Amino acid sequence: MLNQISYKKFSLNTHLDNLRSGRPNSCQLELTYGCGLRCVHCYVASYNRPESIARELSTAKVKKIIDELRNAGVLWVCFTGGDPLTRKDFCELYTYAREKGFLITIFTNGYSLRQEHIELFRRQPPFIIEITLNAVDKGLYEKISGVKGSFKKVMASIGALRRHKIPLKIKAMVTKLNSQHIGKIKKYALVNDLPLALDDFLHAGLGLSPRPLEFRLPPEYFSLRTKRKGNSCPVIPKERKAVRNALFPCVAAGGDGFQIGPYGHISACCLIRRPDLNVLKNGVGPAVKKMVEYFRNLDFTTDSKCKTCARRDECGWCPGKAWVETGSLEKPLDYCCAIAKANDNQ
């Protein structure tokens, strides 16, 4: 008879074992930049167009990456995008990864969920599906999503997943459009017994796209909390302080997890994308090693005030956010400085 342990204990043991052996644990695999919605704050919106989507990896190349991930010792894989469900070969890729033994999470908005997806998830359940639900009011939802009729479709998708008892979580991005509506989202989650996660820091989009910044919350919003819970990037664990450098306050230099984009480029940060770090050219193992070396060797080269600022753990600043907003990994962001100042008034 097999011994049973809790998922929490299994996860911790696996992460620690991989940490000791130098193997990565998880990968966010962006299958596509494509999405059926046009959310006003989307950070990959500039790539959600036919010419960009046409450049994305073929089914065979994605499968090759999945094989590489398995060989590298990765256990947790998140299919994300864009919306991964928009790929015509999603079911084929999901089945392939599932048969390799991965624990699979899916990030989607639910808009492109089809009956074939439901039937597949019933037969082969994912670890969890996370659906972004930025409002539970039709008018507000579609003001954010940019697509008429999307609210009804997304709510139907959530209903279908719940009826079939497919593991589900909802999340929302708090913006100036829906900040007064979050109580209703929380109530919806509570009534329907759904876990809810909120994020409230908007950054610029890929390609230095400033549009998402129009919908940022005022800095004073953060002063309403009892205390901001640190940088929105995961802070590096105590046992990994040896790999921490002055520039990156997060786990980017650790190698524990990483992201692979729709063109096959690997990065420890979804905002910092380097075309030379390609997993199909280098293989996942060598690409991870090269990526970790790149992030660990980065340090401040200017006299940026962020280098010695004691407020970095509360303002939300990080090199990735600076990069997509200013084109520099080191420049301070006025918005982050304003958040720190607002916190002084708590």
Q: What is the structure's pLDDT at 292?
A: 85
Q: What mean pLDDT is predicted for residues 303-332?
A: 92
Smallest Cα–Cα separation from 325: which of 215, 202, 233, 208? 208
Lowest-confidence pick of 19-33, 73-87, 108-122, 245-259: 245-259
Residue 1 scores a pLDDT above 60? no
Query: In this structure, what token pair is assigned to residue 332?
Result: 């301070």
pLDDT bracket for residue 330 (50, 70, 90): very high
**Signed CA dihedral, 301, 295, 328, 304: sign only:** negative
Write the DSSP string, 91-105.
Answer: HHHHHHHHHTT-EEE
Q: Spell out the residues 6+ positions from residue 23 whose beta carbon is closer than 8 angstroms to its own.
A: 72, 73, 74
Residue 314 scores a pLDDT above 50? yes
Task: List helix spans (H) across 85-137.
Answer: 90-99, 115-123
Please count the helices (runs of H) and the strands (runs of E) in the chain.
14, 8
Query: CA-CA distance, 73 to 113, in Å (whole number)?
Result: 30
pLDDT bracket for residue 248 (50, 70, 90): confident
Residue 233 scores a pLDDT above 50? no
Give the three-class secondary structure for 112: coil
Lowest-confidence pick of 131-135, 159-163, 221-225: 221-225
CA terminus-to-terminus distance, the chain: 56
pLDDT bracket for residue 282 (50, 70, 90): confident
Write the DSSP string, 159-194.
Answer: HHHHHTT--EEEEEE--TTTTTTHHHHHHHHHHTT-
Higher pLDDT, 289 or 59: 59
Q: Please state, for a pLDDT cut of 90, what percent of the chain lies above it.
A: 69
What's the fold here for domain 7-301?
Answer: TIM Barrel (3.20.20)
Residue 128 scores a pLDDT above 90? yes
pLDDT tens per residue, range 254-275:
556 899 999 999 999 999 988 8
**Signed CA dihedral, 187, 192, 193, 195: sign only:** negative
Q: What mean pLDDT is predicted for residues 151-166?
A: 98
Q: What is the structure's pLDDT at 16?
A: 52
Query: CA-CA distance, 76 to 102, in Å (whole number)?
Result: 6
pLDDT bracket for residue 6 (50, 70, 90): low
pLDDT tens per residue, range 297-310:
888 999 999 998 88
Would you say 330 and 322 are in contact if contact means Cβ atoms under 8 Å apart? yes
Domain boundaries, given as residue ranges, for the chain: 7-301
Q: What is the structure's pLDDT at 310?
A: 84
Q: What is the mean pLDDT of the chain?
A: 88
| Cα R_g (the chain), whole angstroms | 20
pLDDT tens per residue, range 58-82:
999 999 999 999 998 899 999 999 9
Q: What mean pLDDT is predicted for residues 172-196?
A: 97
Q: Please state, for a pLDDT cut of 70, what percent of the chain lies above it.
A: 84
Query: In this structure, what token pair is assigned to residue 284?
Result: 């996942």
